[in-house]
Amino acid sequence: MPHIQQLDSHVADLIAAGEVVERPASVVKELMENAIDAGADKLTVEIQHGGMALIRVTDNGCGIAPEEAATAFLRHATSKLRTEYDLEAIGTLGFRGEALAAISAVSRVELLTRTQAHELGCALSLEGGVVVSQEEAGCPLGTTMVVQDLFYNTPARLKFMKKDSAEGAACFAMVQRVALSHPEVGVKFLRDGKQELLTPGDGQLKSALYAVLGRDMALGFTPVKGSGEDMSVTGFVSLPTCCRGSRGYQHFFVNGRYVKSRTMMAALEEAYANQKMVGKFPGCVLHLTTRLNAVDVNVHPTKQEVKFGSDKKVFDAVYYAVKSTLEADRTRPSAVAESPAPRLIPKQAVDTVTPNQTTLPLRDTAATRTAAPYVPPAVSRPAARPAAVSVP
Ligand code: ADP
Ligand code: MG
């Protein structure tokens, strides 16, 4: 009979890291979310060799006090949650206190940070989760996190990494999503020294959409605005004539968090029934805003899946918002062309924008691999638009 023993903390940390840090794009996501939670309105993401060699995220957020810098890398260390009751209404992107512990367990990390209250900042280095140095350092307000040599100490994970180009593309897609989730944050992305994205951070989703998709593709989207019981839906959806061959352009956000939601996907596609060609899928950037306690975000380590208090309410809110937009557009086909294009970042500010950068490849999930018609979850199909939904 094998003996039962508790794992030592190093092995336990590596196992926990495996869930949170699947690939470089996971690091990009967690570091960007931390920057947004820190109140940054400008952030820069740089990657080298697909993020495997280096990921650097610089923000102008609140920074970390020197005496708390090392604590931030401990498991279950967070400033965003205090009691079990806080779990019921999470208003920040992070809350599990796991990301920095997980990332630092499988890489070499350098942190440079300063708060308003401190004249001098702090530089901290860790290797495999262990602090190797900490010293005072002059630096601007905010935080720079540098993650190098990802998975250098976990060869089992390293061998599953794809080519740099594929990992880099996944990082870029993640940056694009975060940029679309928070249009009030100006996001810059550099891959191997080349700038590939710059969003203005003017708070307009339309500006972020133009920056991410490019003008031509963005013109194939039309604005959506609607509300359901306790929730509102805003964003953009494809015109029926501009649907695509995959679901790679579908982006759903709940209270500012990118999520994979079968309910929202089903509602979106149902709204296009009979309006689009078979085998084509609508694209969208749809933001659902609801009460914090109407959604449980603590159901998955990467926080990309959420549980709604009522799937039906979410389905109805999305369905009617999209459907009424499409109906209005049918009688007003040039609606998008009529509305003024947002301020575009000057062309020279973006070094190279190739057509495939305008695609937003979703992670390789079952939902994106299959082009088979999507079977909606067990929510009743709405028969008529209820009075509760008001779409201006
Ligand atoms: P979580 O985000 O779930 O709290 P993390 O491990 O991602 O956990 O981060 C731990 C803590 O470190 C955060 O709660 C926050 O206080 C601090 N922190 C991390 N990144 C930043 C940042 N860019 N700016 C300011 N504080 C940060
Ligand atoms: Mg975090």
How high is the pLDDT of residue 364? Answer: 35
Domain end call among 174, 194, 214:
214
Structural domain of 137: 1-214
Do residues 148 and 193 share a domain? yes
Do residues 197 and 303 share a domain? no
Which pLDDT tens digit goes with each residue over 318-363? Answer: 999 999 999 988 766 544 444 555 544 443 343 333 333 333 433 3
In a domain, residue 236? The reply is: yes
Q: Are 286 and 314 in contact (CB under 8 A)?
A: no
- Quote the ligand 2 centre to 28 CA distance (angstroms): 11
In a domain, residue 349? The reply is: no
Ligand nearest to the CA of 75: 1
Q: 115, 116, 121, 147: which is closest to 136 by C-alpha?
A: 121
What are the DSSP calls for 3-50, one per residue?
PP-PPPHHHHHHHHHHHH-SSHHHHHHHHHHHHHHTT-SEEEEEEEGG
In a domain, residue 87? The reply is: yes
Query: How far is 102 from 304, CA to CA, in rounded Å?
Result: 17
Query: How far is 80 from 86, CA to CA, in rounded Å?
Result: 9
Which of 34, 58, 107 maximizes ligand 1 atoms within 8 Å of its Cβ, making it the mutation to test the pocket?
A: 34
Neighbours of 355 (CB within 10 A): 9
CB burial of residue 261 (10 Å; 0-12, 13-18, 19+):
buried
Taking the CA of residue 59 as reference, the ligand 1 atom at the shortest distance is 23
Sole residue written with tokens 């018609």: 373
Which CATH number covers residue 180? Answer: 3.30.565.10
Do residues 94 and 14 share a domain? yes
20 lines ligand 1 (CB under 6 A): no
Domain end call among 310, 331, 352:
331
Do residues 192 and 72 share a domain? yes
- Quote the ligand 1 centre to 99 CA distance (angstroms): 8
- Quote the ligand 2 centre to 101 CA distance (angstroms): 10
Query: How far is 324 from 269, CA to CA, in rounded Å?
Result: 13
Q: 279, 276, 272, 264: which is closest to 325 by C-alpha?
A: 272
Do residues 180 and 297 share a domain? no
69 lines ligand 1 (CB under 6 A): no
The predicted model scores a pTM of: 0.85
Residue nearest atom 17 of ligand 1, based on CA coordinates: 72
Q: What is the DSSP pairing of strand 194-198 with strand 186-191?
A: antiparallel
Give the pLDDT of the chain (392 residues) as one tens digit per residue: 899 999 988 888 888 888 889 999 999 999 999 999 999 999 999 999 999 999 999 999 999 999 999 999 999 899 998 888 888 888 999 988 899 999 999 999 999 999 999 999 999 999 999 999 999 999 999 999 999 999 999 988 898 899 999 999 999 999 999 999 999 999 999 999 999 999 999 999 999 999 999 999 999 999 999 998 889 999 999 999 999 999 999 999 999 999 999 999 999 999 999 888 888 999 999 999 999 988 988 888 888 889 999 999 999 999 999 999 999 887 665 444 445 555 444 433 433 333 333 334 333 333 333 333 333 444 444 444 433 333 33
**In total, how many domains does the chain have?**
2
Which CATH number covers residue 291? Answer: 3.30.230.10
Do residues 177 and 65 share a domain? yes
58 lines ligand 1 (CB under 6 A): no
In a domain, residue 167? The reply is: yes
In a domain, residue 359? The reply is: no
Residue nearest atom 23 of ligand 1, based on CA coordinates: 35
Q: Which residues surround ligand 2, an ion (CB under 5 A)?
A: 34, 94, 99
114 lines ligand 1 (CB under 6 A): no
In a domain, residue 286? The reply is: yes
Domain end call among 214, 242, 273:
214
Do residues 295 and 184 share a domain? no
b vs e for 88-117, b when ≥16 Cβ sit within 10 Å of the residue's Cβ? eebebbbbbbbbbbbbbbbbbbbbbbbbee
Which pLDDT tens digit goes with each residue over 58-84? Answer: 999 999 999 999 999 999 899 998 888
In a domain, residue 361? The reply is: no
73 lines ligand 1 (CB under 6 A): no
For 368-372, the CB contacts below 8 A with 24+ separation are 368/246, 368/247, 368/248, 371/245, 371/246, 371/279, 371/281
Do residues 136 and 39 share a domain? yes
- Quote the ligand 2 centre to 94 CA distance (angstroms): 4
Q: 56, 240, 42, 253: which is closest to 142 by C-alpha?
A: 42
Query: How far is 46 from 192, CA to CA, in rounded Å?
Result: 8
Do residues 325 and 180 share a domain? no
Do residues 80 and 178 share a domain? yes
Neighbours of 246 (CB within 10 A): 17
In a domain, residue 14? The reply is: yes
Do residues 301 and 319 share a domain? yes
Do residues 130 and 240 share a domain? no
